[in-house]
Amino acid sequence: MSTQSIATIAATNGNFDILVAALGAAGLVDTFANPGDFTVFAPTDEAFTRLAEDTFGIDTTGMTETDIAVALVNTLGVPTLTNVLFYHVQAGSSSLADIQAAGSVDTLLTDASFGVDGDTLNDADPEVEDPEFVEGLTDIAASNGVIHVIDRVLLPIDVAEVTPQPTIADVATSNPAFEALTGALVATGLVGLFTDRSNDFTVFAPTDDAFRSLAEELGIDTTGVADADLPGALVGALGIDLVRDVLLYHVQAGGKSLEDIQADRLVETALDGGRFAVEGNALRDGDPSRDDPNFVEGLTDIETANGEIHVIDKVLLPIDVGTVKKVVDIGSFGADVQMGGGANDNLFGLFGDDIQIGGAGNDLLMGNWGKDAMFGGSGDDRMFGGAGNDMMAGDTGNDRMNGNRGSDDMNGGDGNDLMFGGRGNDAVMGDDGNDKIFGNWGADYLSGGEGNDTLGGGRGNDTLDGGEGDDLLIGGNGSDYFDFTELSGNDTVRDFGGGDKIVLDAAEFANFHEVEAATSTSGRGATITGDNGSITIYGHYDESDFMFI
Q: How far apart are CA 247 and CA 231, in angstroms?
A: 11
Please answer whether residues 75 and 198 qualify as being in contact, where contact means their C-beta atoms are separated by less than 8 angstroms.
no
Nearest to 102 by CA among 111, 114, 85: 114
- Given a cut of 70, whether residue 533 has pLDDT beyond it is yes
pLDDT digits (tens, 9 = 90+) for 85-112: 999 999 999 999 999 999 999 999 999 9
Please give the residue that has the higher pLDDT: either 236 or 466. 466
Collapsed DSSP state (helix, strand, coil) of residue 499: coil
Domains belonging to the chain, first-starting first, are 6-161 (2.30.180.10), 168-312 (2.30.180.10), 398-548 (no CATH)
Closest CA relative to residue 418, chosen from 404, 389, 398: 398
State percent of the chain over pLDDT 90.
51
At residue 412 the predicted structure's pLDDT band, cuts being 50, 70 and 90, is: confident
**What is the pLDDT confidence band of residue 1, given thresholds at 50, 70 and 90?**
low
pLDDT of residue 158: 66
Using the predicted structure, report yes or no on whether residue 9 has a pLDDT greater than 70.
yes
In this prediction, residue 163 carries a pLDDT of 59
Q: Are 116 and 100 a contacting pair, CB within 8 Å?
A: yes
pLDDT band for position 197 (cuts 50, 70, 90) = confident
Mean pLDDT of 129-148: 95
Q: With cut-offs at 50, 70 and 90, classify the pLDDT of residue 342.
A: low
Q: What is the mean pLDDT of residues 308-318?
A: 93
Cβ within 8 Å of residue 431, ≥6 positions away: 394, 411, 412, 413, 414, 417, 449, 450
Residue 400 above 60 pLDDT? yes
Q: Give pLDDT tens digits for 141-193.
A: 999 999 999 999 999 976 655 556 788 998 898 888 899 999 999 888 898 89
pLDDT at 509: 95
Q: Which of 417, 416, 462, 418 is nearest to 439 (CA)?
A: 462
Predicted local confidence at residue 407, as pLDDT: 84
Per-residue pLDDT, 322: 55
Q: Which of 83-87, 319-323, 496-500, 510-514 has the lowest mean pLDDT?
A: 319-323
pLDDT tens-place string over residues 39-69: 999 999 999 999 988 888 788 888 999 889 9
- What number is the average pLDDT over the span 287-314? 90
Instruction: Calculate the average pLDDT of the chain.
Output: 89
Q: Is the pLDDT of residue 325 over 80?
A: no
**pLDDT-above-70 percentage for the chain:** 97
pLDDT tens per residue, range 367-381: 888 888 888 888 888
pLDDT, residue 442, reads 81
Q: Which of 496, 491, 490 is nearest to 524 (CA)?
A: 496
Of 71, 67, 13, which is closest to residue 44 (Cα–Cα)?
Answer: 13
For 449-462, b/e burial (b = at least 16 CB within 10 A) is: bbbbbbbbbbebbb
pLDDT of residue 110: 92
- What does the pLDDT read at residue 323? 55
Q: How far apart are CA 81 and CA 75, in angstroms?
A: 9
How much is the average pLDDT of 472-499? 92
Q: So what's the pLDDT on residue 440? A: 83
Return the closest-CA partner of residue 444 out of 471, 466, 418, 424: 424
The confidence band for 330, taking pLDDT boundaries of 50, 70 and 90, is confident
What mean pLDDT do residues 483-496 have?
93
Q: Is the predicted pLDDT of residue 240 greater than 60, yes or no?
A: yes
pLDDT at 185: 92
- Give SS3 for 467: coil
Looking at the predicted structure, is the pLDDT value of residue 318 above 90?
no
- Alpha-carbon distance of 131 to 54, in angstroms, equals 14
Measured CA to CA, the distance from residue 356 to residue 232 in angstroms comes to 34
Place 135 in a pLDDT band, splitting at 50, 70 and 90.
very high
Residue 359 has pLDDT above 80, yes or no: no
Flag whether pLDDT at 328 surpasses 70. yes
